[in-house]
Amino acid sequence: MFVDIRPDTLNLDETKIGDAITQKTKAIVPVHYAGVSCEMDEIMAIAARNSLAVVEDAAQGVMSSYRGKMLGSIGDFGAYSFHETKNIISGEGGSLLVNREESLNDAEIIREKGTDRSQFLRGERDKYSWQDHGSSYLPGELIAAFLWGQMRRADEITSMRMEAWERYDELLGPLKASLDCQTPTIPAHVQHNAHMYYVILPRGVDRDSVLKYMREQKVGAIFHYVPLHSAPAGRRFGRQSGELENTDDLASRIVRLPLWCGISESQQCYVVDSLKAAINAD
């Protein structure tokens, strides 16, 4: 069941979760958009009151935290992505954080093609065999080695991204009012990881024309994502709780600015100039 998002952080609106819970609900899945944490205290309290599991989609939230706790480590489970589009990468890949002891064994079995081979390798079994559902979710050594290199430099990568993120924020700060744009909100109790810098265009400005204008100036501005409830699979498998008006509205106005480790100040000024010209041209 999809629930609407908050207009400030674009994260799941925790005040609307209650209405979405039915007899069949098993878990709450908060997505930490742009590596900015959802309101986890409230979400964990709702889950406890209703005996639900919490599965954090922390795909974008590696190295981010909420009141000092790393994202992915707060719910019953958390998922990280190491896809090439994320902060810490191995090309393709990801990990499941299992935060409750009693599920660890099941997770190992699912990862090992449905077998108890992990226990066998630790010497806890004299042979291994098929126990349950599963697939082959282990990374190969080359990918693991690449990821290890990234993890060792995770602080450095995060601070380089943060520098670029802060610079966009400084460049756009004085322009925000005149362009009538919204920029990211980071709550005081949240530490983010500079995964993404985005701008919400004013109502009435055509996003496609803005993106086209920027691309013509060789700026790789994009939008993400088509909201799941309106995607073909979302319409087929999902349902929605109440109106998803913030989701529809903000998804139609968001523009992500290019951000990578080592983007230069002059490149960022060029991006902001191009955005400004694109909005004024529309």
Interface positions with ligand PLP (CB under 6 A): 31, 57, 59-60, 81, 83, 94
**Which of 60, 182 has the CB closer to ligand PLP?**
60
| Cα separations in angstroms, 57 against 7, 26, 33, 97, 98 | 19, 16, 9, 10, 13
- For the CB of residue 114, give the shortest distance to ligand PLP in the complex, in Å: 20
- Residue 190 CB, nearest approach to ligand PLP (Å): 16
Q: Whose Cβ is closer to ligand PLP: residue 59's or residue 201's? A: 59
In the complex with ligand PLP, which residue's Cβ is closer, 189 or 224?
A: 224
* SS3 (DSSP) at 123: coil
User: Do residues 205 and 282 lie in contact, with contact meaning Cβ atoms separated by under 8 Å?
Assistant: yes
Residue 195 CB, nearest distance to ligand PLP (Å)? 8
Q: Which two tokens stand for residue 105?
A: 């064994």
Nearer to ligand PLP, 128 or 137 (CB): 137
Nearer to ligand PLP, 177 or 233 (CB): 233
Instruction: Tell me how far, at minimum, the Cβ of 252 lies from ligand PLP, in Å.
Output: 19
Q: Which of 165, 31, 144 is nearest to 87 (CA)?
A: 165
Query: What DSSP string describes 76-91?
Result: SEEEEE--TTSSS--S
Place of tokens 């995770």: 154
Of 183, 193, 188, 240, which is closest to residue 32 (Cα–Cα)? 193
- CA-to-CA distance for 247 and 251, rounded, in angstroms? 6
Burial profile 97-134: b = 16 or more Cβ within 10 angstroms, e = fewer: bbeeeeeeeebbbbbbbbbbbbbeeeeeeeebeebeeb
Q: Shortest distance, CB of residue 58 to ligand PLP, whole angstroms?
A: 8
Nearer to ligand PLP, 88 or 278 (CB): 88
- Do residues 35 and 87 make contact, with C-beta atoms less than 8 angstroms apart? yes
> How near is the Cβ of 43 to ligand PLP at its closest, in Å?
16
